[in-house]
Amino acid sequence: MVCGSLSVAGRRVSAMSTSVPPTSLSPSRANDFMQCPLLYRFRVIDKLPEKPSEAATRGTLVHAVLERLFDDPATERTATRAKAMVPHQWDRLLGSRPELAGLFADDEGGERLARWLGEAESLVERWFGLEDPTRLEPAERELFVETELDSGLRLRGVIDRVDVAPSGEVRIVDYKTGKAPRPEYAQSAHFQMAFYALVVWRLKGVVPRRLQLVYLGSGDVITYDPVLADVQRVERKLLALWDAIRRATETGTFPPRPTKLCGWCDHQAFCPEFGGTPPVYPPAAPRDAGQDRAE
Ligand code: SF4
């Protein structure tokens, strides 16, 4: 509980407000906190709106195509068929999220949209050089997973594809529409894979045989074959992270941590590193930080 109107370490704190500690984490939001605590706050606690971007929306579109393609019989899962699905899936996406039309509102001749759809088709086509969908029968697609650790922390996320071999071995596959990171920036990719290894181990009692990130932007596949010690290590790391997030939530201390990634941040106008002032903390009607988006 915070009483009175005061200023603490350069941040404005509201009167008679209560902070709500987090109860869940997704890989994306855990990565946010590790990258920049203030970014985590803006997204999870302040819930500041973010503009849809062409890159992120193209990723959503490509994911939809790769998921829906498995509705067809194996022999019909061709690159031609998948590319032809792109415009239809774009229409479906617009139907469920009409605000995305704003991305191309000023595109009078439709050239930018056509180029963007063409880029999505190229990403879809590249996938066929990395995997062969005629030989795959996923056990799950776009699978929402959630598990609770003994400490009470809930881990949640969405797994793009789960393959189960006749031997029972499990492979977790995640599609990325960007390029594979250089080794020095691969930490968050490895963290995401370890996160899902832990969730699957907790849910099914088996450590996945393999986790696989498929980078359509660069045509790379990164794999990771975890062992039990790896998932136990990531569990300890997540618990430490959760403690740090809870402390930050209780004290309202979310320092900005500027990096090159600030260029992608939608919230520079509120960030002290860019001359901005964060909103009053905590928000007047604080959101349960446990309602972490699973992305
Ligand atoms: S601009 Fe950079 S430092 Fe500021 S909140 Fe965004 S990611 Fe953090």
Residue 19 lies in a domain: no
Of the candidates 177, 180, 244, 222, the one whose C-alpha atom is nearest the C-alpha of residue 29 is 244
Q: Identify the pLDDT of residue 104.
A: 95
Q: Which residues are CB-neighbours of 223 under 8 A, at least 6 positions away?
A: 210, 211, 212, 213
Backbone angles phi, psi at 41, to 5 degrees: -60, -45
Q: Identify the pLDDT of residue 23.
A: 86
Element (H, E) at 12: strand 11-13
- pLDDT digits over 8-36, tens only? 333 444 434 456 677 899 999 999 999 99
Contact of 17 with 284, CB cutoff 8 Å: yes
Question: For the residues 160-176, what does the mean pLDDT come to?
Answer: 95
Structure tokens of 249? Answer: 């939530």
Asked whether residue 295 carries a pLDDT value surpassing 50, the answer given is no
Per-residue HEC secondary structure of 132-187 comes to: CHHHCCCCEEEEEEEEECCCCCEEEEEEEEEEECCCCCEEEEEEECCCCCCHHHCH
Question: For the residues 165-178, what does the mean pLDDT come to?
Answer: 95
User: Which residue has its alpha carbon closest to ligand 1 atom 4?
Assistant: 271
Q: Identify the pLDDT of residue 188.
A: 82
Q: Identify the pLDDT of residue 291.
A: 44
Q: Identify the pLDDT of residue 111.
A: 95
Residue 278 lies in a domain: no
In angstroms, the first-to-last Cα distance of the chain is: 31
Residue 138 Cα to ligand 1 midpoint, Å, equals: 38
Q: Identify the pLDDT of residue 252.
A: 94
- pLDDT digits over 175-219, tens only? 999 999 888 778 888 899 999 999 999 999 999 999 999 999 999
* Ligand 1 contacts CB of residue 258 (under 6 A): yes
- pLDDT digits over 67-126, tens only? 999 999 999 999 999 999 999 999 999 999 999 999 999 998 899 999 999 999 999 999
pTM of the model: 0.86
- Split at pLDDT 50, 70, 90, the class of 3 is very low
* Maximum distance among all Cα pairs of the chain, rounded to whole angstroms: 67
Residue 209 lies in a domain: no
Residue 40 lies in a domain: no
Q: Identify the pLDDT of residue 19.
A: 64
Residue 75 lies in a domain: yes
Residue 289 lies in a domain: no
Q: What is the span of the domain harbouring residue 118?
A: 54-99+107-134
Query: Which of residues 5 and 266 earns the better pLDDT score?
Result: 266
* Ligand 1 contacts CB of residue 138 (under 6 A): no
R_g (Cα) of the chain, nearest Å: 21
Residue 294 lies in a domain: no
- Split at pLDDT 50, 70, 90, the class of 127 is very high
Measured CA distances, 174 to 110, 154, 289 (Å)? 31, 21, 26
Structure tokens of 92? Answer: 């479906």
* Best mutation site among 188, 265, 270, 277 for ligand 1 pocket (most ligand atoms within 8 Å of CB): 265
Residue 82 lies in a domain: yes
> Bridge partners of 237?
none
Query: Percent of the chain scored above 90 by pLDDT?
Result: 81
Contact of 158 with 195, CB cutoff 8 Å: no
Of the candidates 169, 175, 153, 179, the one whose C-alpha atom is nearest the C-alpha of residue 241 is 153
One-letter amino acid at 35 equals Q
* Best mutation site among 11, 35, 268 for ligand 1 pocket (most ligand atoms within 8 Å of CB): 268
> Bridge partners of 176?
215
Count the domains in the chain: 1
How many CA atoms, within 13 angstroms, populate the side-chain half-sphere of residue 191?
Answer: 20
SS percent in the chain: helix, strand, coil, step 5: 45, 15, 35
